[in-house]
Amino acid sequence: MKVLGVDPGSSITGYGIVEKRGNLLFHIGNGEISVNPKTSFPQSLKMIHHQLEKVILDYSPDVMAIENLFFYKNAKTALKLGHVRGILILSAVNVGLDIYEYSPLEIKQAVVGYGRATKNQVQIMVKEILTLPEVAPVDASDALAVAICYIHSTNMREAIKHAR
């Protein structure tokens, strides 16, 4: 099973692809979709859409896991991020991918074991879990963490299903 994890952002969107083979997790790829702050917001959304479509075509994931919105003090920022999430979800739905959403708390618990972990702790654990040679950039690392969260959640659902 190949999972595309996405960490949405209006200026930088991280993505990471993790594959589960048996009980092992493998890093397939990661990166960041960056938009120029001088680009109009509609054009930025278009660019994010096209770049995520390319990632999906290049890696052929089975599912997409995305970080859910959490509380923002700034309504304008939350609205922009909501638009970005919508574009990302549309990009995945257009090619038939199922979408799974996780809160930052769920992601940190799944990867670090502590829901209030720092970004640095998440980066280090992602590096360890996937045996990466170096720590991935923050947004890409967060996206890999989302993919790991999906896999761990699926493992838990399967274990519960088999225990019944």
Ordered by start, the domain boundaries in the chain are 2-163
Identity (one letter) of the amino acid at 99?
A: I
pTM recorded for the entire structure: 0.93
Catalytic site positions: 7, 67, 139
Confidence tier at 132 by pLDDT (50, 70, 90): very high
- In angstroms, the CA 11 to CA 2 distance is 26
Which pLDDT tens digit goes with each residue over 103-130?
999 999 999 999 999 999 999 999 999 9
For residues 78 and 19, the answer to whether their CB atoms sit within 8 Å is no
Question: For residue 30, what are the β-bridge partners?
Answer: 16
- In angstroms, the CA 140 to CA 30 distance is 6
Confidence tier at 10 by pLDDT (50, 70, 90): confident
CATH architecture type of domain 2-163: 2-Layer Sandwich (3.30)
Which pLDDT tens digit goes with each residue over 70-98?
666 788 888 999 999 999 999 999 999 99
Mean pLDDT score, 51-77: 90
Tokens of 33: 């979709």
